[in-house]
């Protein structure tokens, strides 16, 4: 007889950021416990449940569990996709909250991926100068990345993530069963960030990630442990540097070139995790050229990215000059210094100022 997912052990990781201390509960079926957590944490009388329209059944389940413990639920659906991360949506949701009588002692509950987490998180940070927040991430990316760390915000037409706040949650519920409805492409995107954590954390975690079987998300028990280790890595870094004055920048491994590719290709062409897949390969080439890291790490990373259907080659019509331009590294760029995160081996991170221009160009060229 094989063990059902409900027999898989759950894990609780504690975030300790400044004076805040909050649990991140990870396990299959974890949403069933949200009422219990709500009472334990003394959360409010009413919940503004902001959810991605694509996950309405998951949001309904969360709302039902809250009603079970006597919470008044005010649901607000958000259209799927990055354009919802806007000031217009922030205003719309705050006005729904105001009309529904959501008070300072009430709680915003974000049910969705990083888009809803960032948007609803910023609603919580700004509505009535800040109310409590609960994250219920529904994508792998949101579980390992955006639902922990406290960054919230919206995009401007001029630039992504330009208006926001750092706002830590009251608690986070990561129900790995919610990933069963997530499209394969989105699972792969989240896995690109998991590969990043493997490289940042240790040879042990990298090796576990490297051996992760296809298809994603894989064995339920192993998955809970994998998410726990990524979350623990991020929370440990953020606990030391919440406002990204130093160490937190290490979490941007693969993101310097990755963001350049996302912007140069036109947002939407590559999903974020796909651009990060390419960005990681460039960072590992630069790590070799500048810091002397073994090229084995690049080859091994390439193999695991490929196995999980992440891109390892750049589309030929995305111009290198455009990528450099989006990175602020083109001819017009000012002399402003630019930092890149590199590794020596998994677990040994170097922050390098101004890696030589020709090395960066060659690392991007190699992706063709």
Ligand X SMILES: NC(=O)c1ccc[n+]([C@@H]2O[C@H](COP(=O)([O-])OP(=O)(O)OC[C@H]3O[C@@H](n4cnc5c(N)ncnc54)[C@H](O)[C@@H]3O)[C@@H](O)[C@H]2O)c1
The nearest distance, CB 28 to ligand X, in angstroms, is 13
* Residue 141 makes contact with ligand X by CB under 6 A: yes
367: tokens are: 């992706």
* Residue 135 makes contact with ligand X by CB under 6 A: no
CA angle 66, 70, 72 (to 5 degrees): 70
The nearest distance, CB 89 to ligand X, in angstroms, is 12
Please tell me the distance from the alpha carbon of residue 352 to that of residue 350, in angstroms, as a whole number: 6
Q: Which of 182, 209, 341, 363 binds ligand X (CB under 6 A)?
A: 182
* Residue 79 makes contact with ligand X by CB under 6 A: no
Active-site residue numbers?
129, 151, 193, 234, 244, 248, 252, 255, 259, 272
* Residue 146 makes contact with ligand X by CB under 6 A: yes
> Residue 353: which of 342, 364, 337 has the closest Cα?
337
Question: Binding pattern to ligand X, positions 162-181, x when CB under 6 A?
Answer: ----------------x--x
The nearest distance, CB 351 to ligand X, in angstroms, is 19
Output 159 or 336, the one with its CB closest to ligand X.
159
Please tell me the distance from the alpha carbon of residue 148 to that of residue 235, in angstroms, as a whole number: 7
> Quick check: 324 and 307 in contact, CB under 8 A?
no
Count CB atoms within 10 A of the CB of residue 280: 28
* Residue 52 makes contact with ligand X by CB under 6 A: yes
The nearest distance, CB 84 to ligand X, in angstroms, is 8
Residue 202's alpha-carbon distances to 125, 137, 199, 347, in angstroms, are 34, 25, 6, 4
Order the strands of the 72-78 sheet from edge to edge: 11-17, 20-27, 171-175, 132-137, 107-112, 46-52, 72-78
Q: Which residues bind ligand X (CB under 6 A)?
A: 52, 54-55, 80-82, 85, 112-116, 118, 138-139, 141-142, 145-146, 149, 151, 161, 178, 181-182, 186, 189, 272
């Amino acid at each position: 007889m094989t063990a059902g997912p409900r027999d898989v052990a759950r894990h609780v990781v504690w975030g300790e950021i400044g004076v805040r201390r909050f649990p991140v509960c990870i396990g299959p079926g974890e949403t069933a416990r949200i009422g219990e957590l709500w009472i334990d944490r003394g959360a409010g009388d009413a919940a503004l449940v902001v959810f991605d329209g694509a996950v309405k059944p998951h949001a309904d389940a969360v709302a039902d569990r809250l009603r079970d413990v006597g919470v008044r639920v005010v649901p607000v659906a958000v259209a799927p996709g990055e354009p919802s991360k806007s000031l217009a949506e922030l205003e719309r949701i705050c006005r729904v909250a105001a009309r529904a009588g959501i008070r300072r002692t009430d709680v915003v509950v974000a049910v969705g991926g990083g888009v809803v987490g960032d948007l609803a998180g910023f609603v919580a940070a700004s509505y009535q100068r800040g109310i409590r927040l609960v994250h219920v991430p529904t994508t792998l990316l949101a579980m390992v990345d955006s639902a922990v760390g406290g960054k919230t915000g919206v995009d401007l037409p001029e630039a992504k993530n330009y208006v926001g706040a750092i706002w830590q949650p009251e608690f986070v519920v990561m129900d790995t069963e919610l990933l069963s409805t997530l499209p394969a492409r989105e699972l792969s995107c989240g896995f690109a960030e998991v590969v990043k954590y493997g490289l940042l954390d240790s040879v042990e975690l990298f090796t576990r990630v490297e051996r992760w079987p296809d298809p994603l998300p894989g064995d339920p028990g192993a998955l809970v442990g994998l998410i726990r280790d990524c979350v623990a890595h991020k929370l440990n870094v953020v606990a030391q540097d919440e406002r990204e004055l130093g160490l937190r920048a290490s979490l941007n491994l693969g993101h310097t070139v990755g963001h350049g590719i996302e912007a140069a290709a036109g947002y939407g062409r590559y999903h974020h995790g796909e651009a990060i897949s390419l960005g990681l390969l460039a960072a590992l080439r630069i790590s070799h050229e500048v810091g002397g890291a073994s090229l084995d790490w690049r080859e091994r990373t390439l193999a695991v990215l490929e196995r999980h259907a992440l891109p390892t080659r750049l589309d030929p019509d995305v111009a290198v000059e455009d990528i450099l331009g989006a990175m602020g590294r083109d001819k017009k760029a000012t002399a402003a210094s630019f930092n890149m995160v590199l590794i020596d081996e998994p677990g040994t991170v170097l922050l390098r100022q101004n890696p030589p221009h020709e090395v960066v160009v060659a690392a991007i060229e190699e992706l063709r």
